Amino acid sequence: MNVTEKILSNHLVFGEKKAGASVGIKIDQTLTQDATGTMAYLEFEALGKEKVETELSLSYIDHNTAQMGPNNMNDHLYLRSVAGRFGIKCSLPGNGICHQVHLERFGKPGKTLLGSDSHTPTGGGLGMLAIGAGGLDVALAMGGEPFTVKWPKVIGVKLTNSLPEWVAAKDVILKLLSILTTKGNVGCVVEYFGPGVRTLSVPQRATITNMGAELGVTTSVFPSDERTKEFLTAQGRANDFTELISDEDASYDKIIEIDLAKLEPLVAMSPSPDNVKSISEVEGTKVGQVIIGSCTNSSYRDLTIAASMLRGRRVHPDVSFLIAPGSRQVMQMIDRDGSLSTFLTAGARILESACGPCIGQGCSPAEGIVSVRTFNRNFSGRTGTPNDLVFLASPETAVMAAICGEIVDPRKQDVIKYPQIEEPESYDHDDWLVVPPPRRRPEIRRASTIGEPPKNAPLPENIEGDILIKLGDKITTDHIMPAGAFMKFRSNISEYAKYVFNCFNEEGKESFYERALKVKNAGHHGIILAGLSYGQGSSREHAAICPMYLGVKVVIALSFERIHSANLINFGILPLTVSEEELEKLRGCEKISIKDVRSKLKVGEPIKASTDDGKEITLSHTLTEKDIETILAGGKLNLFAAKK
C-alpha cells in the first residue's frame, strides 16, 4: 500500500476501497479557525452534543484579528467560551496561523485531521491525512460522525535529486501547479515519494502540501521518516513520531516525476496560482510591495533565509516590505537569534502572527503596483484592491525583489551568497497561548453580533427557477463571498448575505442580493449558472449558506470543486452538472423550470429542465444516496434534527 491507502484503511468506518466510492473515515483531530469556526461551533451546538468525541480538537483564532468594531472580539470570546464548554483547546490571537501552529505543536503522523479551512492539508507534511472541509462537516466530526469522502485516485509524485541553490519548496509546488493546474483534480490525493523526499525538511514539505490545496485535490501527503522524527524531536514531541512509509511494491494511479535538481525559481502571476511563469519571463518587473507570510511560507526556516539575505542590507526605497511570522514560536525565535533586528534595520514592517494580508485584512496594494507575496492565492481582488497584481513566489525570490525593487533571478547575481540553513535542534515552545478546556464548564458568551445558522426548507418538488447570475470558469469562493473587510460578518448570515457575488455588482445597478431577494419574495427559486471548477479555493461554507439564505436552490455548472460541492449539499442546494453545449442553451434564457425533481432524485431518473424559450436540457449529478437524502431534507442540520 502507499501512505494514503495505509492511513485511509486504518480509519475506514464504511465503504469500499475503490477509487470514486464513498467511504466514511474516522477523524482523530479537528481544527477550526475563527472565520469559519463561529458557524462550525453554532452548528455543533445545534447537534446537541455534550462534548467533542475526537482525540483532539482545536479552535484557532488567526483570521479576523484586525478588530475594527466589536464583531471580531465578540467572535473571539464566543469561540473561547464554546471551546471550553465542549472540551476543545483554543489558540488565542497572536499564537499564530492555524496550519503553522498545528504542524509545530499538534499534528501527528498517521492520524486523520479534518479542518474547516482549505489549507488543512499542510499537516500532510508530517505524514497526516489532513483534509479541508466545511464547518458543518467539521462539527459532525467533532461529534464523532465519520467523515465521508471519495476513495481517492492517488497521484504519486516521484521526487529525485535535491533542490539547487535559490530554488525552494515553493517552486516544487508551483511546478506541480503548472502541470496539473487548478482544474480537474477533484477526487485525487497527491502523495510524494522517491529519493528526493529525504532532502526536504518538514517545513519545506508543509509548504508543498499546503499549496496542494490550489490543485483542488482532496489532500497531499509525505511519508513520515527520519526527517519527520528530527522535526518532532526538535519540537519536544519525539513521542508523537511513528514511521509511515509506502510499501516497496506500492502503486499509484498515475506518476509524475520531478527532478528537483532541474527546477528553477518560478512565479505564479495574477489571477490564479496556476498561472506559473519561469523567473526569466518576469525578470525586470518593477515591484512596489513584498510580503513574507501566510500559512505557506512563514516558518522559522523561511524567515531565517530572509534574514540571512537581508543582513547588512536595506530594502529598495520603492518597496513596502512586510513580514508576518507564521506563529508565536517563529516570532520568538527570530527575536532570540537576532533576525528580527535584521528585518527592522532593513526597513521591514513587522505584522502580527496571523493570516493578515493573505485574506485581505490590511496591506492592500496600491492600484497598478506589483505585490510579490509568499502566499498561496492570488485570486483577483483578494487583497482588497480590485484588479490587483499579485505574484506568488518563494521567500528567496520575494526577498531578492524587495532588495532590488524588481524581480531578479537570484541565481544570476553574485552579491548575496546562498544561505545554507540548518533546521534547529530545538524549537522554543511553551504553548501558553493555547487555552485548555477549564475544569468547570464555562457559560457560552454570545454577543449581539452572533447570529444562528439559518434554517432551510426541504427541496421543493418543482423548481420554478430564475437564473440570478451567469458565470464563467474557475469561480472561486472569494468571488462568491468576499473575505477581507467583510469577514467581520462571518457569524451573522443576514448581514453577510448582502455581499454575495459583491465583486460582480455594478454601481447603480441591482445587486445580486437585491435580485435574489426579489425572486425569493416572488415565490420563485434562485439558480446560479457557472462553468468549470465552480467553488475553487476556500472551504468557507458561507459561500453556500448565504446563497441558500437568499433562496438559491440549484447551481448548474460544468464541474464543481470538492469542498464547495459538499458545502452546497450540506445546506440543501442541488449541484447539477451539464454539458458545454447545453450550458450554452441555458445561457440564452432567464427562467427554467425543473419538474418532479424530488421524485426523480429518489428513483434515479434523469433530471430535465425546460427553458423559457422552449428548450429541454438534461442535467446530471454525481450525488450519493446520502447526498440525495440530505438535499431532500434541506440540508444536514434538518436531517440530523429529524434523526434525533
Q: Tell me which residue of 26, 284, 283, 270 sits closest to 148, measured CA to CA.
A: 26
Q: Are 362 and 64 in contact, with CB atoms under 8 Å apart?
A: no
Selected catalytic residue, list 59, 118, 220, 538: 538
**Any idea which residue has 518560478 for its cell?**
266
Q: Of 2-10, 106-114, 351-359, 417-425, which part binds ligand SF4 (CB under 6 A)? A: 351-359
Q: Are 185 and 33 in contact, with CB atoms under 8 Å apart?
A: no
The reply to whether 538 belongs to the active site is: yes
In the set 358, 475, 497, 576, which binds ligand SF4 (CB under 6 A)? Answer: 358
- Residue 624 and residue 602: Cα distance in Å, rounded? 11
In the set 25, 206, 211, 359, which binds ligand MIC (CB under 6 A)? Answer: 359
Q: Are 594 and 556 in contact, with CB atoms under 8 Å apart?
A: no
In the set 3, 23, 31, 35, which binds ligand MIC (CB under 6 A)? Answer: 35
Query: Under the criterion CB under 6 A, does residue 329 sit at the interface with ligand MIC?
Result: no
Query: Under the criterion CB under 6 A, does residue 88 sit at the interface with ligand MIC?
Result: no
- Residue 620 and residue 91: Cα distance in Å, rounded? 43
Pick between residue 246 and residue 353 the one whose CB is nearest to ligand MIC: 353
The strands making up 254-259's β-sheet, listed across from edge to edge, are 219-221, 188-193, 153-160, 254-259
For the CB of residue 33, give the shortest distance to ligand SF4 in the complex, in Å.
Answer: 6
Residues from 292 through 331 that contact ligand SF4 (CB under 6 A): 294-295
Q: Of 6-14, 254-262, 353-361, 427-435, which part binds ligand SF4 (CB under 6 A)? A: 353-361
Query: Under the criterion CB under 6 A, does residue 30 sit at the interface with ligand SF4?
Result: no
Residues from 440 through 499 that contact ligand MIC (CB under 6 A): 483
Our CA angle for 484, 486, 492, nearest 5°, is 140
For the CB of residue 183, give the shortest distance to ligand SF4 in the complex, in Å.
Answer: 19
Cα radius of gyration rounded to whole Å, the chain: 24
Pick between residue 197 and residue 475 the one whose CB is nearest to ligand MIC: 475
| Three cell numbers, residue 562 | 470538492
Pick between residue 378 and residue 611 the one whose CB is nearest to ligand MIC: 378
User: Residue type at 276?
Assistant: V
Q: Are 240 and 146 in contact, with CB atoms under 8 Å apart?
A: no
Q: Give CA 56 to chain center in angstroms.
A: 20
For the CB of residue 284, give the shortest distance to ligand SF4 in the complex, in Å.
Answer: 28
The reply to whether 540 belongs to the active site is: yes
Q: Which does 97 bind (CB under 5 to 8 A by kind): ligand SF4, ligand MIC, none?
A: ligand SF4
Pick between residue 360 and residue 575 the one whose CB is nearest to ligand MIC: 360
- Residue 212 and residue 378: Cα distance in Å, rounded? 15
- The span from the first CA to the last CA of the chain, in angstroms, equals 39
Q: Are 561 and 213 in contact, with CB atoms under 8 Å apart?
A: no
- Residue 227 and residue 202: Cα distance in Å, rounded? 7
Residues from 514 through 553 that contact ligand MIC (CB under 6 A): 537-540
Selected catalytic residue, list 377, 524, 542, 562: 377
In the set 76, 80, 119, 542, which binds ligand SF4 (CB under 6 A)? Answer: 119
H helix and E strand count, the chain:
22, 27
Coil/strand/helix, residue 439: coil
Pick between residue 378 and residue 638 the one whose CB is nearest to ligand MIC: 378
The reply to whether 62 belongs to the active site is: yes
Strand partners for 220 = 190
Q: Are 491 and 449 in contact, with CB atoms under 8 Å apart?
A: yes
Query: Under the criterion CB under 6 A, does residue 103 sit at the interface with ligand SF4?
Result: no
The reply to whether 431 belongs to the active site is: no
Residues from 101 through 120 that contact ligand MIC (CB under 6 A): 117-119
- Residue 398 and residue 373: Cα distance in Å, rounded? 7
Pick between residue 291 and residue 483 the one whose CB is nearest to ligand MIC: 483
Residues in contact with ligand SF4, shown as a per-residue x/- string from 69 to 98 under the rule CB under 6 A: ----------------------------x-
For the CB of residue 222, give the shortest distance to ligand SF4 in the complex, in Å.
Answer: 19
Selected catalytic residue, list 62, 171, 274, 627: 62
Helix (H) or strand (E) holding 72: helix 71-86
The reply to whether 612 belongs to the active site is: no
Active site residues: 62-63, 117, 377, 538, 540
Residues of this chain that interact with ligand SF4 (CB under 6 A) are 63, 97, 117, 119, 294-295, 355, 358-359, 376
